[in-house]
Amino acid sequence: MRFPFFVVVPLLLLSLSTNAQSQTFTEVELMEDIAYLKEALYKIHPSPFRYTTKDSMDQNFEILQSKTTSGLTEARFVLEINDLLTSVGCIHTNARRKLKKIKKGTPRAKVIPFEFYTDGDSLWTKRNLLDTFQNLQWKKVVEINGHSTDTILQELMDYHASDGYNTTFMTRLLSRGANLARLYHSYFGSDSLVNITFQISGQDTLAVIPKLRLKSGNNGKGTKEEEAWKFQVKNHFYKEEGNWALLKLNSFNPYKRKTRKFYRDLFRSLEENEIPNLVIDVRDNLGGSISDANKVLKHILDEDFVILLERQKAPTFRYSSFGSKVGFIMFSLKRSVECRKKYAKDGKKIAEFKTRTSGRNNYDGKVFVITNGYSASSSSYLATLLKYKNQAFIIGEESGGGAAGNNGLYYTTIRLPNSKIEVRIPFYWLNYQLIPDKGRGVMPDVSIPYDIEDAKQDKDLEMEWIRYKLGG
């Protein structure tokens, strides 16, 4: 399968500039944009009412319309749209401002100079970007500028959808780098000084913190790599430790010869060395090429498998940008060759895609998969197939991507007529045909919870569990 399964890109990671938030649109302009968005979403998205009813979605649009009476800034309108889109329950559906080249010298928005950590209920500072406030690292936050942590988290957790009803995706996202600081600025704003109340030694302590302009690219990816790998290629790492091996996949690359060789070498090594246990780590893997994920599956699964690609009979080109139109034509030509069986059912266009297993270097040992809330798209697809077709053992945290299927594979970008805000809408629902859709991610067989002390010490409890069970 050689077509892309795009990576989830949390849009709050885009840098903010002070000018980008100043443009305001009138009620008439906003109402036109909302009507256009509603029509496009309902006609293009493969399952807009999978996790909420049409009546509820209609009501959400009415609520959004009610917020336009005094006009909205471009930045605020994006936040309100994303708040609405969370009810779709699709990690691949979101809005962003039209990307504009920031002129040299344009000041970036100031944000709180802390990285934060949250478990979804409480909030702590993590890394401090100001040397003068090192004593405030890993302190529990009570409120910021009079906003309680409950209020802050309630607002921010609704910024970006996960698949279905999952919440682990957003807690992971907010705990990475400066994401929460940037998003707090977008939702709540503030002056150049921020009043933060901390809980220190059982007492509330107020600190006045100056805001900083962060450099671009500080998105907190923060991937830690192990020191010695037997094989590696971009974002792919493999090593062996006694009676088990570790395959760490940070993302899934597009189909490339080097990646194919990487998998061929590692599965040959597993067979030659008779290693009985394979650990696949897809934590913090937001996805990528589904063909890359299938390279793993075809060496592990015992039989060929079929997934269904379902989409609406949508007037595709009516809403798509020029780039989306060209891309979809190319994608459709490739899909017409790869998906031989196609038919219509219940008003949907359906194509069957079969992935064939490999005849060489097939692995028949025990498979363990480590997931967390940032495992989405192709990585949750991989975890689902391994869990339900190979009896793989899942460790860690519920994945951010859905277990029963996924809205993805290919998407169009529509541009709202007045604000020019861009909204990404997927064309396909990928039905894995394995379990009923309950709106949840891939659930672990062994859940590994972290407390604040574990987070402070930067522990890797999942790998500790693996080493305890398998040795090494």
* 8-state DSSP, 278: E
Reduced DSSP (H G I as helix, E B as strand, rest coil) percent helix, strand, coil of the chain, to 5: 35, 25, 40
- Assigned fold of 231-470: 2-enoyl-CoA Hydratase; Chain A, domain 1 (3.90.226)
Q: Provide DSSP, 280-322.
A: EE-TT---B-HHHHHHHHHHH-SS-EEEEEEEE---HHHH--H
Calpha distance 419→34 (Å, rounded): 10
Beta-carbon count within 10 A of 369 CB: 28
- Core vs surface per residue 59-82: b (16+ CB within 10 A) or e: ebbeebeebbeeebebbbbbbbbb
Calpha distance 279→283 (Å, rounded): 12
Q: State residue 259 phi and psi, 5-degree precision.
A: -65, -40
Task: Tell me the CB-side half-sphere exposure of residue 384, using CA atoms within 13 A.
Answer: 28
Beta-carbon count within 10 A of 326 CB: 11
Tens digits of pLDDT across the chain (472 residues): 444 445 565 544 544 544 445 689 999 999 999 999 999 999 999 999 999 999 999 999 999 999 999 999 999 999 999 999 999 999 999 999 876 655 666 667 788 999 999 999 999 999 988 777 889 999 999 999 999 999 999 999 988 889 999 999 999 999 999 999 999 988 988 778 899 999 999 999 999 999 888 765 545 444 455 558 989 999 999 999 999 999 999 999 876 778 889 999 999 999 999 999 999 999 999 999 898 999 999 999 999 999 999 998 866 667 777 777 777 777 666 666 667 788 888 888 998 988 888 777 789 999 999 999 999 999 999 999 999 999 999 999 999 999 999 998 888 889 999 999 999 999 999 999 999 999 999 999 999 999 999 999 999 999 999 999 998 6
Coil/strand/helix, residue 137: coil
- Are 169 and 162 in contact by the 8 Å Cβ rule? The answer is yes
- Cβ neighbors of 162 (< 8 A, separation 6 or more) are 89, 91, 168, 169, 170, 373, 376, 400, 401, 441
Amino acid letter, residue 8:
V
Coil/strand/helix, residue 135: helix
pLDDT at 15: 44
Q: Extract the tokens encoding 69.
A: 């009476």
pLDDT at 14: 46
pLDDT at 338: 66
Calpha distance 313→334 (Å, rounded): 19
pLDDT at 22: 64
Coil/strand/helix, residue 57: helix
- Cα separations in angstroms, 324 against 82, 328, 329, 372, 375: 21, 6, 9, 31, 26
Residue-range domain boundaries for the chain: 13-96, 110-213, 231-470
Please count the helices (runs of H) and the strands (runs of E) in the chain: 13, 23
Task: Tell me the CB-side half-sphere exposure of residue 50, using CA atoms within 13 A.
Answer: 26
Calpha distance 293→401 (Å, rounded): 14
- Core vs surface per residue 233-267: b (16+ CB within 10 A) or e: bebbbbbbeeebbbbbbbbbbebeeebeebbbebb
The residue ranges of DSSP E strands in 321-421, in sequence order, are: 341-345, 348-355, 366-371, 393-396, 405-415
pTM of the model: 0.90
Calpha distance 92→129 (Å, rounded): 31
pLDDT at 250: 96
Calpha distance 370→28 (Å, rounded): 49
Q: Extract the tokens encoding 466.
A: 């693996």
110-213 CATH pick, 3.30.1230.10, 2.40.160.40, 2.30.42.10, 3.40.50.1370: 2.30.42.10
